[in-house]
Structure 1
Amino acid sequence: MMEPFVRRRHTMLIKERAHALGFAACGVSTADFLEEEAPRLEHWLRQQQHGQMAYMANHFDKRLDPRKLVDDAKSVVSLLFNYFPKEELPTDGTYKIARYAYGTDYHFVIKDKLRALMAYIEEEIGEVHGRVFVDSAPVMDKAWAKRSGLGWVGKNSNLLNRRMGSYFFIAELILDLDLVPDQGIRDYCGTCTRCLDACPTGAIVEPYVVDGSRCISYFTIELKDQIPEAVRGQFDDWIFGCDICQEVCPWNRFAQPTTEPAFAPHPALSEMKKSDWEELTEEVFREIFRRSPVKRTKFEGLKRNINFAKNAKGFPE
């Protein structure tokens, strides 16, 4: 165990550098087994609420114990990066994509910043072993951010922060460095049920439990088969992801625009009408979404989503 002064100094250095790199918040938790989350995850998987997201059932032990991802891990550094747009894309007379997908794929943007933070740690502190993560490995990012005092997990299963709402990406460093852990905060959802009431597909099956296989984001991004007829007419023109449960959340009245230019939307998106989406060619798709999260659906997947939203009443495609 390091001297308390050294631990505090190292913790302060990391947090200060994280803020300098553009992260909106940084918190620390002790790297140990996620005892509280283990039974919840097991139950969620048993209920098949992950749908076709088979990767969610993989590496169960690693999801719950960061020491299985980094030898001798001692600390998890959780970071939030704001993506709330300065300007909203139009919603009238067009189809909608989730705000996180407006600009450059966050994996590219945030991975670079995490690597810069890791390089700074090694330069200032010395030899530190660790790994950087941004939604690309079996890490329960919301659980660690909650432990690190960055917010609480709301009834819509998103991490909520009293200062900035929920429009942010979560990333982690798992380090073999002994740092000063932060304290968690309490739940501030209260009696509010706006997210449950607003979800068109009833994916929030009870407070704090989301059936992933019923979520619009799942249908439009993760599902590779045809979208079930049972949910036709319930998408409200969303063709990639969905922000409804965030839009109705009272805490998002505190969301501030991001200062990261990479998350600004491609200029063509603000001009797109429904007819432009419906007539989208593969060439235009490749141009607009070259480095975008939307690329994940591939051209055929996005066309499927557009056709499903277009024919909301089940008319022939």
Structure 2
Amino acid sequence: MREDIPFSEQIKAQALDLGFMSCGISEATFLEKEAPILENWLNNNYNGKMAYMANHFDKRLDPRLLVDDAKSVISVMLNYYPEKDLFADAPLKISKYAYGQDYHSVIKEKLGRLLEFIVENSEEEINARVFTDSAPVLDKAWAERSGLGWQGKNGMLISKQKGSFFFVGEIILDKVLTYDQASTANHCGTCTKCIDACPTDAIKSANVIDGSKCISYLTIELKDEVIPNAFKDKMEGWFFGCDICQDVCPWNRFSTPANSSDFVPHPDLSNTEWTELTEDIFREIFRHSAVKRTKFKGLKRNIGFVNTI
């Protein structure tokens, strides 16, 4: 370990070497500001049928309940913006985040390597866990506290330099580090492009999202046999996820293509006839993709519902 460079800075440098686009550190404390926001969101049933969002309420707000004696939260961002929008002019569309490999496994592997670096170079034993959108952690709140960006009116974390097409993950650990200044400025201003563009009116107001109306929820999280007819002709062709609110965001003019082979699209992704999708083709294209979460039956449901040709 370089004695002339603070350990927190070494951690950030290692994160960049591993391929993360940004890294910030915040103190592991109770999320006091977020507590009433989360409570109101749940009370309004904006979680739809995502019952798990109401579980572990206290753990979502206090990382010390996830890692004993937690002191720090290391937040990272991983770019997934593609070289080309494969579905820009297509009648049926898949969200850009699902073009390549499942981000859960990609981030988990990189965070695991970052934690190995921390453990190997720390003078004391470390108790820590890595998180990749698979546990009760408010990822965007911690990234905001770590100075990586602000939460826009569409609920996405936005960076002035990098836009919003990135994943967020974190390491919670019982080691005191040097903390970054939290992002306090909101640079959305009077812009309402994301609110105006949402075809299902899922964005109720600035940073208040009715998840039960979001196209991503309807095509991924909702496991019902059918999608409610109220959304017929409002999906704009999106059959897995949705990028509308990000595509119209002015800050995404600063998005640059990811330099990772992990998110290179499957070669057949842009030339598949989705209305004729078979289970074999589904397994081949989405073997390592987040799309497999819907299973073949779920994806066929989505395609049938949004297809207006």
> TM-score normalized by structure 2?
0.96
The reply to whether residue 216 of structure 1 matches residue 221 of structure 2 is: no
Q: Which amino acid aligns with 1:184?
A: A
Give the superposition deviation at 1:125.
Answer: 1.2
Partner of residue 28 from structure 2, selected from 25, 28, 31: 31
Partner secondary structure for residue 74 of structure 2: strand
Give the superposition deviation at 1:216.
Answer: 0.3
Counterpart residue number, 1:248: 248
> Structure 2: how far apart are the matches of 1:246 and 1:28?
25
Distance 1:130 1:12, change over 3 A: same
Counterpart residue number, 2:160: 162
Contact 1:85–1:264 (CA under 8 A) maintained in structure 2: yes
Q: Which amino acid aligns with 2:247?
A: E
The reply to whether residue 131 of structure 1 matches residue 129 of structure 2 is: yes
Q: Which amino acid aligns with 2:211?
A: G
Counterpart residue number, 1:199: 198
Give the superposition deviation at 1:90.
Answer: 3.3
Counterpart residue number, 2:94: 97
Counterpart residue number, 2:235: 235
Contact 2:87–2:94 (CA under 8 A) maintained in structure 1: no
> Structure 1: how far apart are the matches of 2:10 and 2:237?
45
> Structure 2: how far apart are the matches of 1:55 and 1:249?
29
Note the residue ranges of structure 1 that are not aligned, 5 or more in a row: 1-5, 313-317
Map Cα deviations across residues 42-80 of structure 1 (whole Å, 9 max, x no partner). 000010000011111110000000000000100000000
The reply to whether residue 53 of structure 1 matches residue 50 of structure 2 is: yes
Q: Which amino acid aligns with 1:182?
A: D
Distance 1:228 1:115, change over 3 A: same
Partner secondary structure for residue 174 of structure 1: strand
> Structure 2: how far apart are the matches of 1:90 and 1:202?
22
Give 4+ residue runs of structure 1 displaced > 4 Å after superposition: none
Partner secondary structure for residue 172 of structure 1: strand
Note the residue ranges of structure 2 that are not aligned, 5 or more in a row: none
Distance 1:93 1:99, change over 3 A: closer
Give the superposition deviation at 1:13.
Answer: 1.2
Partner of residue 295 from structure 1, selected from 269, 292, 296: 292
Counterpart residue number, 2:265: 265
Contact 1:8–1:179 (CA under 8 A) maintained in structure 2: no
Give the superposition deviation at 1:269.
Answer: 1.0
Map Cα deviations across residues 5-29 of structure 1 (whole Å, 9 max, x no partner). x897120111010010011000010
Structure 1 stretch displaced more, 154-163 or 121-130: 121-130
Counterpart residue number, 2:281: 284
Partner secondary structure for residue 75 of structure 2: strand
The reply to whether residue 80 of structure 1 matches residue 95 of structure 2 is: no
> Structure 2: how far apart are the matches of 1:237 and 1:277?
11
> Structure 2: how far apart are the matches of 1:183 and 1:250?
25
Give the superposition deviation at 1:262.
Answer: 1.1
Give the superposition deviation at 1:93.
Answer: 4.0
Counterpart residue number, 1:315: none
Distance 1:301 1:7, change over 3 A: farther
What percent of counterpart residues are identical? 59
> Structure 2: how far apart are the matches of 1:124 and 1:101?
35
Q: Which amino acid aligns with 2:199?
A: P
Partner of residue 309 from structure 1, selected from 296, 303, 306: 306
> Structure 2: how far apart are the matches of 1:91 and 1:302?
20
Partner of residue 151 from structure 2, selected from 150, 153, 158: 153
> Structure 1: how far apart are the matches of 2:113 and 2:243?
30
Contact 2:152–2:207 (CA under 8 A) maintained in structure 1: yes
Give the superposition deviation at 1:257.
Answer: 0.4
Contact 1:7–1:178 (CA under 8 A) maintained in structure 2: no
Q: Which amino acid aligns with 1:42?
A: E
> Structure 2: how far apart are the matches of 1:113 and 1:310?
37
Q: Which amino acid aligns with 1:128?
A: I
Partner secondary structure for residue 268 of structure 2: helix
Aligned alpha-carbon RMSD (Å): 1.5
> Structure 1: how far apart are the matches of 2:62 and 2:87?
43
Give the total of aligned pairs: 305
Map Cα deviations across residues 233-272 of structure 1 (whole Å, 9 max, x no partner). 0011100000000000000000010011110110001213
> Structure 2: how far apart are the matches of 1:271 and 1:10?
48
Contact 2:96–2:243 (CA under 8 A) maintained in structure 1: yes
Give the superposition deviation at 1:92.
Answer: 2.6
Distance 1:95 1:111, change over 3 A: same
